Amino acid sequence: MKVIKNISILVFLFASSITYTQVKFEAIVSKDTLVVNEIFRVDFEVDKEVDSFAAPNFKDFKIVRGPNVTISNSWVAGERSYKKTHTYYIKPMKVGTLIVDKAIAIKDAVTYSTNPLAVEVAEQDSLSSIKLKEKSFKEDLYLRCEYFSDRVSLKDSLTLTYKIYVSSSFGVKSWTITEDSEISNAIAEEIKLDTLKIENKDIDGKNFRYVVLKEVSIKPLDKEKKISISPMQIDVIAEIPTVKEDIFGNKIFREEGITLSTEQITIDVD
């Protein structure tokens, strides 16, 4: 009877080791020091297939893009490696120490959570490195509002064309208009675009691609006043070249969130 009892205990322990699976679930941020409205990336990675996933509410942040879900599988020495990643691009909405709260995953009725992550957020003008980075991006990636003339007669109309320009060494995965232009002293009517078409343009000897994001026809209301057009602002997920290369000698890119805007525009009315 004693032998049978010991065998029963061993069988129970063996069965428990099969049914119990430890899940590795973690959160990773692309940077933990940034400024207000600077976009950064948050990855929630889990190494097992789970029954459900719930992201945090991202209090004090704004979601720019996501969730994007990627799954990777690999086999090494006969063992499977699995990873599922939920990716969000977000930006802080205020200054201070902000917390990316925990995400929740459930597998076989067991709840797992990531650790909350703290990020330090400063005012826009307080980090000179951010300024330098944005300045360098402006040479390869920018947003323009183009128009034929800075004067328009009261009986005529003028077309505003919003374009995003990307140099041949950069890429853009997505964009979102976060703040549209406000137009005063004019009737504004958006022109419907059938498709987004990629065009090429040489600017000062440098090859760019551009896409027309939006076109607006404006007609002045009052000859005694100027037309004022406030900046449009967009959040972009850009592909930035690194110094690294793949095995074929091609540049390896990293994704980064960037905010672009047009300039303030004033149009005289004749």
The CATH number corresponding to 133-269 among 2.60.40, 3.20.20, 1.10.12, 2.30.30 equals 2.60.40
- pLDDT of 21 reads 61
Percent of the chain with pLDDT strictly greater than 90: 41
Superfamily of domain 23-126: Immunoglobulins (2.60.40.10)
Cβ-based neighbours of 206, under 8 Å, separated by 6 or more: 167, 168
Q: Three-state DSSP class for 192?
A: coil
Owner of token pair 């003028």 = 158
Q: Which residue ranges does the chain devote to CATH 2.60.40.10? A: 23-126
Q: Beta 265-269 vs 151-152: how paired, if at all?
A: parallel
Q: Give CA separation, 145 vs 11, 70, 159, 178, 196, in Å.
A: 73, 36, 10, 16, 16
Rounded to two decimals, the pTM is: 0.60
Retrieve residue 176's tokens. 């979102």
Using CA atoms, how far residue 33 sits from 137, 197, 242, in Å, is 19, 37, 21
75-120 pLDDT per residue, tens: 766 677 888 999 998 989 999 999 999 999 999 989 999 999 999 9
Query: Is 236 a residue whose pLDDT tops 50?
Result: yes
Residue 134: pLDDT over 60: no
Helix (H, G, I), strand (E, B) or coil at 85: strand
Pairwise pLDDT comparison (249 vs 167), residue with the higher score: 167
